[in-house]
Amino acid sequence: MSDSYVLAIDNGTTSTRAIVFDRMGNKCGTGQLETTQIFPHSGWVEHDPQEIWANTKKVIEFAVEDAGVKPEQIRAIGITNQRETTVIWDKETGLPLYNAIVWQDTRTQQLVDRLAANADGSFDFNKLKEKTGLPLASYFSATKIMWIFENVPHARKLAAHNKLAFGTIDSWLLWNLTGVHATDVTNASRTLLMNLHTLEWDAELLRFFDIPQEILPEIKSSSEIYGISQEVLPGVPVSGILGDQQAATFGQAAFSSGEAKNTYGTGNFLIFNTGHDIVHSRNGLLTTVAYKLGEQPPNYALEGSIAVTGSLIQWLRDNLGIISSASEIEELAASVEDNGGAYFVPAFSGLFAPHWRPDARGVIVGLTRYVNKAHIARAALEAVAFQTREVLDATNADTGLPLKEVRVDGGMIANNLLMQFQADILGVPVVRPVIAETTALGAAYAAGLAVGYWQSTDELRSLWQEQSRWEPRFSEEERSRRLRVWNKAVEKSLNWVDIDSPQN
């Protein structure tokens, strides 16, 4: 029994969790509540920020109770969050101007096209990539902020009177917990507004997107005291913030250059730590900040972001009804020997890494009378693994340092069939740590380091332990054949959205 603990808040796309950890990184108590997914139109995905805050307060209470500890035994709070998801609120009333526009939302594609057309030819797009490490895409926060300004009456006027605050979910939670308007470098690096070199908001980018600097949070490191919690766990410092994928990297102890992890949540995100170097991808990966501890120099990373993986399983459950819970997919998929010739490319938000094709849409190909729902379930799981293979190939090509094994985490790794197929299709082992809640753990680590609960990343590294390992079983020939068919399926998903497509 420890005498003190660290609590992490993990707001993923699907749910909000709070987890209490002890000094060994053991999970001592958990609280979790699902987030309502709001789909007002095709391509739109929203969350209610007030629901997220209300759920956060509840899950903190649940977790502390579940751990059987006293609130005063919590030494620090860490926050980790779905990244890019955009909230703008009124600083006087504390009320959001509009629902949170979620990272998967593609409503701003027309805005992106308008910016890309670069009407007056004055903007150099190479500079955007060089400064931010990101392509111009609806995924990131900048065009989501623009959309709110263009569609919510009075937003500009309120901003002009310095009454508005923008934030990703970390900032929204920090504001509600402490009254401080700040974010960390990892979250800021997903907005298209932060310069990776200076780690500051970039005036030229703010002009390009027509976003007033006054609404932006202060950019801080990932591990320092940002403020003191007021309403829940009063008096406890909030001292760690990392975007969820960077938090999982930290929780997997992938602290150094050449170390990587792959997370299977709503989407999949492979992050490869490049140390203090900013590496620009030639193969469709993003460049992002991995973490920054206090005054120390930042670590950067390459990232392969896949929009739809776990959400495909939710779609089979909620939209097609072929399963009644996510975990049922494994039994259904295992009831057949293979995919029956069916391949599923879940390009619901276009294709992210490594393709970056907003014109793609989801397809299931190879259908015959033979194919049944179990084959579709299998094809859906295989799609997760094939997409991961694509980003792993891109990472290997960019770094010239092929990964010898892949450390995994996230909700989908409970699925053994998927993990085995993943190893088969990657051709390298897939490894799961004992503590699979690496996202929350990473935020707890960052918060604990800032208050001296843990002393160093070396100490944290010693806590990582392997639990399971899946070894590849396919021959090289079998792997290559399946990858060729997958590539054909991807081709079929491209060039779908065109002038005849419904406009949102």
Ligand X SMILES: O=P(O)(O)OC[C@H](O)CO
Ligand Y SMILES: Nc1ncnc2c1ncn2[C@@H]1O[C@H](COP(=O)(O)OP(=O)(O)O)[C@@H](O)[C@H]1O
CB of 266 to ligand X, least distance (A): 3
Dihedral Cα 243, 245, 248, 253, nearest 10 deg: -100
Closest CA to 493 of 406, 405, 421, 386: 386
Among 35, 239, 266, 281, binds ligand X (CB under 6 A): 266
Q: Is 411 in the site for ligand Y (CB under 6 A)?
A: yes
Give the nearer residue to ligand X in terms of CB position, either 222 or 266: 266
407 binds, among ligand Y, ligand X, none (CB under 5 to 8 A by kind): none
Round to whole Å and give the CA distance between 255 and 299: 8
Closest CA to 176 of 16, 67, 374: 16
Structure-token pair, residue 3: 């005498």
For ligand X, the binding residue among 22, 224, 244, 437 (CB under 6 A) is 244
Site for ligand Y in 312-331 (CB under 6 A): 313-314, 326-327, 329-330
**Interface with ligand X, residue 84, by CB under 6 A:** yes
Of 137-145, 223-231, 412-420, 479-487: span binding ligand Y (CB under 6 A): 412-420
The binder of 83, among ligand Y, ligand X, none, by C-beta within 5 to 8 A per type, is: ligand X
Cβ 122 vs Cβ 153: under 8 Å: no
Lookup: tokens for 334: 């295992």
Q: Which residue has the tokens 């450390």?
A: 407
Helix, strand, coil in percent for the chain, rounding step 5: 35, 25, 40
Kindly state whether residue 265 participates in binding ligand Y, applying the rule CB under 6 A.
yes
The position carrying tokens 């806590």 is 463
Candidates 13-21, 73-81, 159-167, 390-398; binding stretch for ligand Y (CB under 6 A): 13-21
Q: Binding string to ligand X for residues 197 to 236, with x set by CB under 6 A, is what?
A: ----------------------------------------
Instruction: Find the shortest distance in angstroms from Cβ 266 to ligand Y.
Output: 3
Cβ proximity to ligand Y, 75 vs 432, nearer residue = 432
CA–CA separation, 200 and 84 (whole Å): 17
For ligand Y (CB under 6 A), the number of binding residues is 19
Can you give the three-state secondary structure of 137-148, one letter per residue?
CCCCHHHHHHHH
Of 7, 8, 9, 12, the one binding ligand Y (CB under 6 A) is 12
What pairing do the DSSP bridges indicate for beta strands 260-264 and 406-409? parallel
> In whole angstroms, what is the distance from residue 440 CA to residue 87 CA?
22
Tell me the C-alpha distance between 107 and 147, whole Å.
9
The candidate with the shortest Cα–Cα distance to 86, out of 153, 159, 172, is 172
Considering the rule CB under 6 A, would residue 349 count as an interface residue with ligand X?
A: no
**Helix, strand or coil, per DSSP, at residue 184:** strand
User: Contact between 267 and ligand X (CB under 6 A)?
Assistant: yes
According to the binding rule CB under 6 A, does residue 245 interact with ligand Y? no
Out of 221, 245, 339, 349, point to the residue binding ligand X (CB under 6 A).
Answer: 245
Q: By CB under 6 A, name the binding residues for ligand X.
A: 12-13, 82-84, 103, 243-245, 265-267, 305
Q: By CB under 6 A, name the binding residues for ligand Y.
A: 12-15, 265-266, 310-311, 313-314, 326-327, 329-330, 410-412, 414-415
